[in-house]
Amino acid sequence: MKFTLSWLKTHLATDADLPTILKGLTNIGLEVEGVENPAEKLAPFRIAKVLTAEPHPQADKLQVLTVDAGDGALQVVCGAPNARAGLVGVFGTEGAVVPVNGMVLKKTAIRGVESNGMMCSFRELELGEDHDGIIELGADAPVGQVYAQWAGLDDPVIDVSITPNRQDCMGVRGIARDLAAAGLGTLNAIVVPTVEGVGPGPDVRVEDADGCPAFFARTVKGVMNGASPAWMAKRLKAIGQKPISTLVDITNYIMIDLGRPLHVYDMATLKGGLVARKGRTGEEVLALNGKTYAVDETMTVIADDEAVHDIGGIMGGEHSGAQDGTTDVLIECAYFTPERIAVTGQKLALTSDARGRFERGVDPAFLDDGLSIATDLVVKLCGGTASEATRAGTPPVASKTVSYDPARCLALAGVDVAEAEQKRILERLGFGVEESFSANWTVTVPSWRRDVDGWPDIVEEVVRIVGLDQVPSTPLPRMPGVAKPTATTEQLVERRVRRTAAARGLAEAINWSFLSDKEAASVGGGDWTLANPISEDLKVMRPSLLPGLLSATRRNMDRGAVAVRLFELGRRYFAGQDDGSWERATVGFVLAGEKVARGWQTGKAQAFSAFDAKGEVIALLAAAGAPVANLQSFGDASSAYHPGQSGTLRLGPKMVLAEFGVLHPSLAKQFGLAGTVVAGEIFLDAIPAKRASGFMRAPYAPPALQAVKRDFAFLVDPSVEADALVRAVKGADKKAIVDARLFDVFVGPGVEDGKKSLAIEITLQPGDKSFSQEELDAISAAVVTAAGKLGGTLRA
Amino acid sequence: MSEIANLKAGLIADIAAADTLDALEALRVGAMGKNGVVTGLLKTLGGMSPEERLEKGPPIQDLRESVTAALADRKAALEQAALDARLAAEKIDMTLPADPGAQGSVHPVSQVMDELAEIFADLGFSVATGPEIEDDWHNFTALNIPETHPARAMHDTFYFPDAESGKKMLLRTHTSPVQIRTMMNGEPPIRIIAPGRVYRSDSDATHTPMFHQIEGLVIDKGITLGHLKWTLETFLKAFFERDDIVLRLRPSYFPFTEPSVEVDVGYTLTNGQRVIGGDGDAPGGGWLEVLGSGMVNRRVIEACGLDPDEWQGFAFGTGVDRLAMLKYGMNDLRAFFDGDLRWLKHYGFSALDVPTLSGGVGA
């Protein structure tokens, strides 16, 4: 909401200077978003008279002028066709900055003739579009005076942000009222003129009282529509509203001045009376913005016998608005239901100044006054004869009262404001206050404050005017002692996993939660697709963290990265119960490019392998508290992975805690990645929570006797999985064998065809006494037997 | 010179001249071995009379000791020389580069969330979470934002197609629905923060369709705006680790709080950078909007099944990404979600930079 300081002062009698007013506005909740004084950038431009004008000796289109800007004659080269002796215009002297292009004027020679500044056009000063020639002021304009001051441009434009609850401040008067309540002046009384009506009011009716409870109107016949008077045009221009014609400008002016939207119809375009009714499917309106909108039964429109002329309360129609030749007008001053306006506006995706006000809720008690003020201005500025008013329907003016205990101010806001001060503030804001010694105050809410309906609102009004800086900072009560831990198990797990991954050399990325259809499909498809995505690339809630990581990997590769180690900790989104979501906390990572760069020690660069992914998965699972030693390796990773170089880690056959491996080459290709890319995902929500068992560890003393190691090599079928053999061996004597580690896999000379050799080192931990040879032999035999169950034979 | 003295001089000279360990060993065997010359002399001692032994014994013993010592010294010297030679031969160019290992990092958003959790834990707040795919009741209705409320237009909401049951699902536009879930699922008194991803249909240099917020909620008896003010001041001072934090509270409007307060924090322009701290109204200073907050609206407390005459409190919300930018100086929000390793390395944090109150929450 923009207005100028002088405009504000038409409603507010104040001695306060601009900084005080700006600070006051922000303090009471009308946040100043910007302030600009157009005079500041125009300060070096002065009114000047052209004394002489001679043709330029070297150029047909240029003239050499002598110009007096109050300091004597200066020579200026000028290309404007209207430059001539005697013209009074605006002159920018040496050093001035031309607003439109930032050019600094300096003494220069143009085609060999010295020039000491510039005579300016309106466009060059950003005062309009006119660039046909230099500005021509009247001959009486005072030469030497700063142009902006003389032209009344020294009027700061203030832009405030109005919160959605404050319909009353969508007009300059409401802002003035708030400032007056805050002690920054007095609100001038509003003068509502009486315009005698001749003849009955127009035929207007309300058929849709829900959407438009009141439709007041008058006609004015015999008007002359032309350019607005200078004062009105200047104010509108100052705040960025383009003056159009007097009739249109009057409605805009009153809307900004008083927060009261109006509409003026050219009666020549109407067939029959006007009715506020529901739209009908199939009806269309060509609106003032040049676009056509289809209306329906949920919307309120203003229509005549033949067509819809107005999307009620939002935008008028192109065909029935006031034109240059308009002679008879109908002035509409209606009340549209805020909820209806909001829905219609959202549905049509149409914003307008009128919508902004009606959807906040205009003052329902101001229809008659608004109509009178508008009619008066039309008659005064355009002539013509006004009719009486027609008042169709009734605006919702029921007065609201709130029972208010002034002690609530301290109880809710923590600030003690004297009762008399509270009353004074409320009354200045237009509230009625009826004090009572025995009971709460009865506070009557002004008709323009639709937002106020409970005692907390009253507290809010008092506190905002008193100033939030008056609220004393009060410490929250603190529990005695050291603060207690607050993190949940999930948070602790996430923190440990995140910092473990970072410590292992992976960089944490945060990728979009949404993917393109194609990306989602490449990892099995998503359950949640946005109805209104911001783009096709950000449409489906991710079922996997891989696509986001792969895209990030690709971007890094495109930027020349040779090694990419990225991880993300976030959610995957699936359909859950009761139409809700199932959001699964997940860690994903991608390793791509060079695992080891070429080096003087290591030779050629090395790529990542599936076992790098497995290593990360196990480390991160361990960090997350998963029982890593008990996990079983399975195949059956998703189709995102190379079918022969991937796997899952499970707790029991069904509970998949992680999957990992070499990325499927076709998926890598889809993301534009060359070479081996390995990846993994850990499903944090599938990891069973560790039971809290206090801080005490299980008792332990390192064994006195040294562990013994024995190596075995078994020949097995190639289909036998290493993990199965190791588990079998380890299980051969659960007491003595504390570890079994595979250290060699061999196929080749010395190993019979169709077999592979797996070598395992077992660790035997003696208890009270060392193993006897018989015991060692028995353990070895048990190991061999266990391997035998998998078809393993001891390698000779 | 006696025979023994001659022998001693000869042996010692030979030992000193031995230039390899093998030569030295041959000398040792020749002198001290089973059939060695010194051993032979020692053997003669047994056949001597006590008087004779008293006379001839000491020189022979002296010979043995001297030769033994000379052998040991020479052996040590030869070994030292051999070691020196080996070490000299093993010299390498230690200016060659070592493998630095891969360097990982924690994302600034995660780091700042950890910082916030640490600060608020000290104030007695625990961390709560909620779904990102929400229904419109939790995201809007329960927060006193009805269907037609203009505030719904303020949020550029991502919607999902309506469910068969008619339930309207959307991506939460703020972390405030976690307030609702916390109040409905727990008993007051409540002190929580709720960090997480939120979504709005918006994209430019300062807006991304996904970003991070943190919500705070206190519900208790006798909580006032004064407590809110103190909490925010205390939190911001701890977060920026500066005592000169100045807040400017402005009346504002949020449907779920009343009174509603927007909070600006003063900054000082230092070398062209906005550095948080100092009075925003001072010359060279300014204000940055950092928080929305207010006293929880009675309707919201009621919607959660609590008695608003018994319980009242405050709520606040702020952008985590924005806090990170203000504290650590990033200026492009979009880079947060780009996964650029160069950016992550520069603005990310070491795994060991765990925020603690004793070490300072910043890193």
At residue A438, the pLDDT reads: 75
Q: Identify any residues that bridge with A303 across adjacent strands, giving them in sequence order.
A: A275, A308
Contact B251 A506 (CB under 8 A): no
Give the Cα separation of A636 and A647 in Å (integer).
6
Q: Give the tokens for residue A706.
A: 């040294």
pLDDT tens digit sequence for A296-348: 999 999 999 989 999 988 998 888 888 888 999 999 999 999 989 988 998 89
A751 touching B (Cβ < 8 Å):
no
Per the CB < 8 Å rule, is B161 touching A529? Answer: yes
Q: Which of A214, A157, A218 is nearest to A4 (CA)?
A: A157
Residues on chain B touching A488 (C-beta within 8 angstroms): 126-127
Q: Average of pLDDT values for A719-737?
A: 93
Query: Does residue A623 have a pLDDT over 80?
Result: yes
Report which secondary-structure segment, H or E, holds A592: strand A581-596
Residues A81 and A167 in one domain: no
**Residue B154, pLDDT score:** 57
Instruction: Check residue B155 and give its pLDDT.
Output: 59
Mean pLDDT computed over A377-400? 93
Burial of B267 (0-12, 13-18, 19+ CB in 10 A): buried
Q: Are A215 and A336 in contact (CB under 8 A)?
A: no
Size of interface A-B (CB pairs under 8 A): 279
pLDDT of B149 above 80: no
Q: What is the mean pLDDT of residues A99-120?
A: 88
Structure tokens at A599: 């080096």
Over range A435-462, report the average pLDDT. 91
- Cα angle at B360 between B359 and B363, to 5 degrees? 100
Q: Is B279 on the interface with A (CB under 8 A)?
A: no
Per-residue burial over A282-319, b if 16 or more Cβ lie within 10 Å, else e, is ebebbbbeeeebebeeebbbbbbeebbbbbbbbbbbee
Q: Do A505 and B104 touch (CB under 8 A)?
A: yes
Amino acid symbol at A63: Q
| pLDDT on residue B1 | 55
Name the residue in chain B with its Cα closest to that of A355. B150
Element at A565 (helix H, strand E): strand A563-575
The dihedral sign for the CA sequence B228, B230, B233, B235: negative
Find the CATH number of the domain harbouring A223: 3.50.40.10
- Would the CB atoms of B148 and A488 count as touching at under 8 Å? no
Domain membership of residue A480 (yes or no) is no
At B151 the pLDDT is 58
Mean pLDDT of chain A: 93
| A282 in a structural domain | yes
At the second CATH level, the architecture of B108-347 is 2-Layer Sandwich (3.30)
Does the pTM surpass 0.80? The reply is yes
pLDDT of residue B317: 96
**Portion 598-617 of A in contact with B at CB < 8 A:** 599-602
CA B122, CA B234: separation in Å to the nearest integer?
A: 11
Checking if the pLDDT of A218 tops 90, the result is yes
Q: What angle do CA B133, B134, B140 make, to 5 degrees?
A: 145
- pLDDT 10s digits, B318-339: 999 999 999 999 989 999 999 9
Rounded to an integer, the average pLDDT of B348-356 is: 95
pLDDT band per the 50, 70, 90 thresholds, residue A690: confident
Is A444 part of a structural domain of the chain? no
Average pLDDT over every residue of A87-98: 89
Which one, of B192, B216, B173, lies nearest residue B323 by Cα?
B216
Of A66-80, A588-602, B189-203, B335-349, the range with the lowest mean pLDDT is: A66-80
Within 13 Å of residue A453, how many CA atoms lie on the same side as its CB?
9
Per the CB < 8 Å rule, is B102 touching A505? yes
pLDDT confidence of A401, banded at 50, 70, 90? very high
User: Contacts of residue A608 in chain B, CB cutoff 8 Å?
Assistant: none
Q: Is residue A24 located within the same domain as residue A45?
A: no
Nearest CA in chain B to A535: B201
Q: Is the pLDDT of residue A221 over 90?
A: yes
Rounded to a whole number, what is the distance in Å from the CA of B300 to chain A's nearest CA? 13
Q: Are A225 and A370 in a shared domain?
A: yes
For residues A608 and A733, state if they share a domain.
no
A530 burial level (CB within 10 Å; 0-12, 13-18, 19+): buried
Distance CA A503, CA A507 (A): 9
The shortest CB-CB distance from A581 to any of B131, B210, B248 is to: B131
* Helix, strand, coil abundance in chain A, percent, nearest 5: 25, 30, 45
Confidence of residue A128 (pLDDT cuts 50, 70, 90): confident
Between residues B59 and A556, which one has the greater pLDDT?
A556
Kindly identify which residue of chain B lies nearest to residue A359, measuring between CA atoms.
Answer: B150
Question: How near does any CA of chain A get to the CA of B176, in Å?
Answer: 18
Instruction: Tokens for A725, please give them.
Output: 């053999």
Q: Residue A572: is its pLDDT beyond 70?
A: yes
A666 lies within 8 A of chain B by CB: no
Q: Do A320 and A261 belong together in one domain? A: yes
At residue B132, the 3 state secondary structure works out as coil
The DSSP code for B97 is P
Domain assignment of residue A770, yes or no: yes
Sheet holding A2-4, edge to edge: A2-4, A157-161, A31-36
Q: What is the rounded CA–CA span in Å between residue A735 and residue A248?
A: 96
How many other C-beta atoms are found inside a 10 Å radius of the C-beta of residue A796? 7
Domain assignment of residue A195, yes or no: no
The most confident of A151-160, A777-786, B280-289, by mean pLDDT: A777-786
Within 10 angstroms of residue A72's Cβ, the number of other Cβ atoms is 9
d(CA B257, CA B202): 24
Given CB atoms, is B100 within the 8 Å cutoff of chain A?
no
Instruction: Band the pLDDT of A468: cuts 50, 70, 90.
Output: very high
- DSSP assignment of A12-74, as one string? EE----HHHHHHHHHHTT-EEEEEE-HHHHTTTEEEEEEEEEEE-SS-TT-EEEEEESSSSEE
Candidates A164, A500, A580; nearest CB to B151: A164
Domain boundary among A105, A129, A150: A150
* Structural domain span for residue A60: 40-150
Residue A562 · residue A536 · CB < 8 Å: no
Quote the pLDDT of residue B100.
Answer: 87
- At residue B14 the predicted structure's pLDDT band, cuts being 50, 70 and 90, is confident
Nearest CA in chain A to B148: A339
Do A558 and A411 lie in one domain? The reply is: no
Using the Cβ of A165 and the Cβ atoms of chain B, whether some distance falls under 8 Å is answered with: yes
| pLDDT value of residue B153 | 60
A607 has a pLDDT exceeding 90: yes
Q: Are residues A679 and A725 in the same domain?
A: no
User: Residue A652: what pLDDT?
Assistant: 87
User: Inter-chain contact A559–B342, Cβ cutoff 8 Å?
Assistant: yes
Q: Does B129 touch chain A (CB under 8 A)?
A: yes
Total residue length of chain B: 363
Mean pLDDT calculated for residue range A402-414 = 94
- pLDDT score for A112: 85
Per-residue confidence (pLDDT) for residue B48, from 0 to 100: 82
Residue to substitute from B107, B211, B232, B233, interface A, most A β-carbons within 10 A? B107
Least confident range from A278-287, B9-18, B223-232, B284-293: namely: B9-18
Residue A512 to chain B, least CA–CA distance (Å): 7
Tens-place pLDDT, residues B151-182: 566 558 899 998 778 888 999 999 999 999 99
Higher pLDDT, A183 or A131: A183
Q: For position A651, what pLDDT does the model report? A: 92
Nearest-CA distance A35 → chain B (Å): 14
Strands A157-161 and A315-316: unpaired
Segment holding A408, helix H or strand E: helix A408-408
Write the DSSP assignment of A684-747 as a string of letters.
GGGSPPPPP--SPPPP----SSPPEEEEEEEEE-TTS-HHHHHHHHHGGGTTTEEEEEEEEEE-
Q: Are residues A302 and A241 in the same domain?
A: yes
* Chain A CA closest to residue B158: A532
- What's the rounded Cα separation, in Å, for the pair B349 and B361? 12
Q: How many domains does chain A have?
A: 6
- Does residue A790 belong to any structural domain of this protein? yes
Cα distances (Å, whole numbers) of residue B319 to A602, B127, B313, B326, B338: 46, 16, 21, 11, 18
**Domain for residue A608, yes or no?**
yes
A296 and A421 both lie in a single domain: no
> Within an 8 Å CB–CB cutoff, is residue A558 touching chain B?
no
Give A15-32 pLDDT, tens digit per residue.
999 999 999 999 999 999
Determine, yes or no, domain membership for A453: yes
Task: Grade residue A224 by pLDDT with cuts at 50, 70 and 90.
Answer: very high
Contact A530, A539 (CB under 8 A): yes
DSSP one-letter code for A750: T
